[in-house]
């Protein structure tokens, strides 16, 4: 009899209630685990983004070392998909194909709406340093002399996450540079679908200074220029950027589009 009882007990199946309890426990554990996995994934993407910016910075410094300390910028059509040879310093110094260079100028966390061509890049260099539209390129020797007109390189933004700027937004994405705070803080708007800001890493933006320091700051949609540079603890380009026509933005001699 005891043997029969043991056999009968050994064959006992789960009841419906027991199965539901097990399923509920698994669901609870999954609910606790998935957010943690999501945060870990976002952190990994942020680390990768910062690493790419750092490598872009190192490529820029290699270029500067070979070209009398000039920062590579738009005047070299550097990140254009059709750029070739010495007209593509980032590709040249990173040793990358056109497609790989395009991917390298793209943050892994960016989900841009405008992905029709190479122009819309989510990682960009400073047009204030590299030259863009109305701004003349800067030489590294122009920094570190003292005062707001020649701040140390640690107080100058070189590379940063960027927003998906509207096509009429000063060409923020056209050559992989930014030359207004709006290129970073304000997504494309108007009649087009709303894009994203540069603050895509849990509300933070990654950046690298002209001295090579990699860091991040918290921000929000529409942040004004003064608040932005205060959070960065950097000198606004309005004091040191040079217009092609002469003068600086702070001199009120030309455009005021910082």
Look at residue 173 and tell me whether its pLDDT is greater than 60.
no
Q: Tally the C-alpha atoms within 13 A of residue 80's C-alpha that lie toward its C-beta.
A: 14
Look at residue 192 and tell me whether its pLDDT is greater than 60.
no
Give pLDDT, residue 255.
Answer: 46
Give pLDDT, residue 158.
Answer: 95
Q: pTM of the predicted model, to two decimals?
A: 0.78
For 211-250, the pLDDT digits (tens) are 999 999 999 988 999 999 999 999 999 899 888 766 667 6
> Please, which pLDDT band fits residue 18 given cuts at 50, 70 and 90?
confident
Look at residue 177 and tell me whether its pLDDT is greater than 60.
yes
Please tell me the distance from the alpha carbon of residue 28 to that of residue 197, in angstroms, as a whole number.
34
> Please, which pLDDT band fits residue 78 given cuts at 50, 70 and 90?
very low
Highest mean pLDDT out of 29-38, 108-117, 140-149: 140-149
Q: How far is CA 1 from CA 5, 7, 10, 167, in A?
A: 6, 10, 14, 85
Greater confidence (217 vs 98) lies with 217
Q: Kindly state the average pLDDT of the residues 182-186.
A: 85
CB 183 within 8 A of CB 241: no
Tokens 């790989």 sit at which residue? 100
CB 210 within 8 A of CB 143: yes
For 240-257, the pLDDT digits (tens) are 988 876 666 766 554 455
Please tell me the distance from the alpha carbon of residue 7 to that of residue 10, in angstroms, as a whole number.
5
């Amino acid at each position: 009899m005891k043997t029969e009882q043991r056999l009968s007990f050994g064959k006992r199946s789960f009841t419906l209630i027991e199965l539901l309890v097990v399923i509920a426990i698994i669901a609870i554990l999954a609910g606790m685990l998935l957010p943690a996995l999501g945060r870990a994934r976002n952190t990994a993407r942020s680390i990768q983004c910062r690493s790419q910016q750092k490598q872009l910075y190192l490529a820029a410094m290699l270029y500067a070392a070979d070209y009398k300390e000039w920062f590579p910028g738009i005047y070299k059509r550097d990140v254009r998909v059709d750029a070739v040879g010495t007209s593509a310093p980032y590709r040249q110094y990173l040793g990358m194909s056109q497609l790989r260079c395009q991917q390298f100028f793209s943050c892994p966390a960016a989900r841009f709406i405008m992905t029709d061509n190479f122009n819309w890049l989510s990682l960009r260099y400073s047009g204030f340093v590299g030259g863009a539209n109305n701004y003349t390129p800067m030489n590294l020797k122009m920094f570190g002399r003292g005062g707001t007109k020649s701040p140390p390189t640690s107080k100058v933004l070189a590379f940063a996450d960027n927003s998906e700027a509207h096509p009429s937004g000063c060409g923020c994405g056209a050559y992989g540079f930014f030359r207004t705070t709006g290129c970073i803080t304000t997504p494309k708007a108007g009649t087009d679908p709303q894009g994203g800001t540069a603050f895509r890493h849990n509300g933070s933006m990654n950046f690298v200074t002209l001295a090579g320091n990699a860091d991040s700051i918290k921000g929000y949609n529409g942040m004004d220029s003064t608040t932005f540079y205060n959070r960065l603890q950097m000198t606004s380009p309005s004091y040191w950027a040079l217009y092609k026509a002469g003068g600086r933005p702070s001199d009120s001699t030309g455009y005021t589009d910082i």
